[in-house]
Amino acid sequence: MTGTATRRAGAHAGPAWLVLSLVCACQFMVILDASIVNVALPSVRRDLGFTSTGLAWVVNGYLLTFAGFMLLGGRAADLFGHRRMLVAGLAVFSAASLAGGLATTPEVLVAARLVQGVGAAMLAPSTLAVINTGFTGEGARARAFGAWSASGGVGGMAGAIAGGAITTGLSWRWVFLINVPIGAVLVAVAVASLAGARAGRREPLDLAGAVTGTAGLAALIYGVMQGADHGWASPPVVVPAGAGLLLLAVFVVVEARFAARPMMPPRLFTIRRVAVGNGMLLLFGGIAMAMWYFTSLFMQNVLGYSALQAGLGQTPAAVAFVVIARSASSLLPRTGARLPVAIGCACFVAGFGWLAQAHVGTGYVAGVLGPTLLVAAGIGLTFPTLMAVATSGVPDGDAGIVGGLANTSVQVGGAVGLAVLATAAGARAAMEADGSSPAALAAGYDLVFLMAAGLGLAVALAGLLLPRERRP
């Protein structure tokens, strides 16, 4: 850590290492809760009497409010203070976890997951704002983004394994209850280490922008989530997605023409790094879904692995991502963003092209381990780089909303990518004689991996728009 970064973090908060540990722990918890529930779902359904449709909302409810409220959470962090919003987010997240762990009906558990997502949407942009305002040196900020990205990778990796262990050894309820003591500790650390952080600025929240932006994102994501199950032209997709797009169009007009102090200032999109970085993060969301979600399904539905075996099968790739994300942070100050993005995209194209050759008789080492390590290396190089690019070069007073925008781009890209890729996989499998056989499913997943390779090429082309930067 550079001396500049240490002094800045110390002047505004506590020691730099403690501040960084705090934001990494918060990111770990947010990402962990997106995946840890998956393995526990059969037990949840049995104990609470969920229908198969309702059970999906234990996962989707969290993702919906997490993505939908991210912009609002980011702007609130700017207006009311990063420390205050981080502590409030931890409190909401922990309280919702307690309610979920004690739930006795499906409705209570889904409501708790919705509120949990709101807490996560308050937390995630606040952690990025703390990094942007507390670590001022380019090298220090890049290393902080590398650690932040790696902590999310550890959270995703730990989710499947921890969920299976907790559900088997204790109860599915502890998948939620474990957040309560962890959240209490993190609140104490935040109050102590961020005690001197900026208190925000005195100006009213843009209510019209907050309502239209949040409702528009939530409606759009909800509609997209229905695509794979109901068909893209069906009312459950067209009505909410259309309403969401209309509300987002109103949001853009309100922010550009009528809001005195807009929630999402249009001037931010005149910053080249912010505009291009967020566009690339949208594409990246689909790549991440293709990697973690569809390789897990391939191992389970084609190779016959259990959920826990599939989680363990992805562990080497997750470890590679964590290691490379930490290492990639040292490249950005010396080379700029273009080189790590170009290398990462080459890894995407090669890895997904390799995965697209997989079939029923594919062995793990040659058919899964090798290509997933390549793709994970690409994610480790590009994700922290793009997050650093998309959230830098803005005033401290906009750090929260820019962090919220970057996180929203990833989440929306992931939601749309999942829906489109799942639809493509299902349609390709249905073209086979037995659309539900492992061979037919393998054909669908192969198409997904080829589409993901195409997304990698698109990210590489978009990377040419990034500004050239080379620093000693």
Q: What is the pLDDT of residue 469?
A: 62
C-alpha 360 chain-centroid distance:
31
Q: What is the pLDDT of residue 8?
A: 42
pLDDT tens figures, 134-145: 776 666 777 777
What's the CA gap between 439 and 2, in Å, rounded?
54
Q: What is the pLDDT of residue 20?
A: 83
Hunting for tokens 């779902």 — which residue is that?
A: 41
Rg (the chain; Cα; Å):
21
Sign of CA dihedral 142, 143, 145, 146: positive
pLDDT-flagged residues of the chain (< 70): 1-14, 39, 52-53, 136-139, 157, 160-161, 163-164, 195-203, 228, 307, 329, 396, 469-472
Q: What is the pLDDT of residue 242?
A: 92
Amino acid of residue 380: G
Max Cα–Cα distance, the chain, nearest Å: 67
Q: Are 118 and 92 in contact (CB under 8 A)?
A: yes
User: Which phi and psi angles does 257 have, rounded to 5°?
Assistant: -115, -35
**CB neighbourhood size of 188 (10 A):** 12
pTM value is 0.79
Hunting for tokens 């569809």 — which residue is that?
A: 294
Amino acid of residue 69: F
Q: What is the pLDDT of residue 201?
A: 54
End-to-end CA distance of the chain: 16
Q: What is the pLDDT of residue 97?
A: 93
Q: Are 393 and 271 in contact (CB under 8 A)?
A: yes
Q: Are 10 and 189 in contact (CB under 8 A)?
A: no
